[in-house]
């Protein structure tokens, strides 16, 4: 320990001699020689009293204060300033994603407008009205391809002059509800039996002008009803159409018609009974078209040369009316 103490004293002395002195400390060397007169006592007391206090205070006072203050003051501000970059990234990402999604709902408005095309398909049902009018405006005689006509000389004219070219005809001058069971064709077959062996879908009958002058119209109506039953027996499944008796001219009705009973008074009255019979027999009644009557309710004088049978022009009017009547009735 004495060697260490001596070394420290020596070092301190050397340090003190080399360090610059303030003006007041420069006067100390001059006073030192006066103290050397007593070398023994001051040498042992001054080294032990000064080195312990100065060695313990001067090294610790200087290194500890700069070392503890300078390192801790500089590193801490740097980390605390770094949070600034964190404010910038957080503000940008949050603003961008939230603003764009709120605008995207606009495309949803377009799909809602798509139901407009549905308005066009709803307008298409209009064409369906036209087909229903065509059958009643344009007669089509192909409706008679599965038909047979039964009648007297008035109906016979439609076949004779080629006005109706479809279907079969069982017609004869003077044919009535009685003679249809007695008249025969060229092969000797009774006319009503000519229905046998055929698969007619329609049977169209026009009788009455030869019977309207009979004394008993009740007899006529009974035999007409029986004829419908006999036709159904020979043509099962066929639909039956009854055409009203056609009018006669005023001249004929008031002259010859008064003698044979073929006049407009009897024709109108009997046609009404035929209408009621059709309702009872489930047959279709086809009335006369308005073109067959003049303003007085008679057949126009220009329509017939003899007052009963039609000329070709009125045959066509009548034929078209019959065709449309069958087409509309089904």
Fold of 141-329: Rossmann fold (3.40.50)
What does the pLDDT average to over 288-303?
Answer: 98
Residue 5 banded pLDDT, cuts 50, 70, 90: low
The residue written with tokens 């006005």 in the block is: 163
Q: Where in the chain are the domains?
A: 1-16+30-66, 141-329
pLDDT of 87: 39
What are the C-alpha distances in Å from 330 to residues 121, 167, 319? 30, 16, 17
Residue 7 banded pLDDT, cuts 50, 70, 90: low
Residue 294: Cβ-neighbour burial (10 angstroms; 0-12, 13-18, 19+): middle
pLDDT of 4: 64
pLDDT of 6: 60
What three-state secondary structure class fits 184?
strand
Of 89 and 285, the structure prediction assigns the larger pLDDT to 285
What three-state secondary structure class fits 218?
helix
Interval 152-208: pLDDT, tens? 999 999 999 999 999 999 999 999 999 999 999 999 999 999 999 999 999 999 999
Reply yes or no on whether the pLDDT at 128 is more than 90. no
pTM score, two decimals? Answer: 0.60
């Amino acid at each position: 320990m004495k060697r260490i103490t001596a070394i420290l004293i020596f070092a301190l002395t050397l340090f003190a001699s080399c360090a610059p002195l303030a003006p007041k400390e420069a006067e100390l060397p001059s006073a030192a020689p006066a103290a050397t007169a007593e070398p023994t006592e001051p040498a042992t007391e001054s080294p032990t009293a000064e080195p312990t206090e100065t060695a313990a205070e001067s090294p610790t006072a200087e290194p500890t204060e700069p070392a503890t203050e300078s390192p801790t003051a500089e590193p801490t501000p740097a980390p605390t300033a770094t949070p600034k970059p964190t404010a910038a990234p957080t503000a940008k990402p949050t603003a961008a994603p939230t603003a764009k999604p709120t605008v995207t709902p606009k495309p949803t408005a377009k799909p809602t407008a798509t139901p407009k095309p549905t308005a066009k398909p709803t307008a298409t049902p209009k064409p369906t009205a036209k087909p229903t009018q065509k059958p009643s405006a344009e007669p089509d005689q192909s409706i008679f391809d599965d038909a047979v006509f039964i009648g007297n000389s008035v109906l016979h004219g439609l076949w004779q002059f080629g006005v109706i070219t479809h279907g079969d005809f069982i017609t004869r001058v003077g044919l009535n509800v009685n003679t249809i069971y007695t008249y025969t064709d060229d092969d000797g077959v009774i006319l009503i039996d000519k229905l046998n062996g055929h698969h007619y879908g329609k049977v169209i009958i026009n009788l009455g002008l030869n019977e309207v002058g009979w004394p008993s119209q009740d007899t006529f109506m009974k035999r007409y009803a029986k004829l419908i039953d006999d036709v159904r027996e020979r043509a099962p499944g066929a639909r039956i159409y009854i055409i009203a008796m056609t009018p006669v001219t005023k001249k004929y009705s008031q002259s010859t018609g008064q003698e044979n009973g073929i006049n407009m008074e009897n024709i109108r009255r009997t046609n009404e009974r035929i209408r009621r019979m059709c309702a009872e027999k489930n047959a279709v009644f086809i009335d006369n078209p308005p073109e067959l009557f003049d303003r007085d309710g008679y057949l126009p004088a220009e329509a017939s040369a003899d007052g009963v049978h039609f000329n070709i022009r009125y045959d066509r009017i009548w034929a078209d009316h019959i065709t449309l009547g069958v087409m509309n009735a089904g």
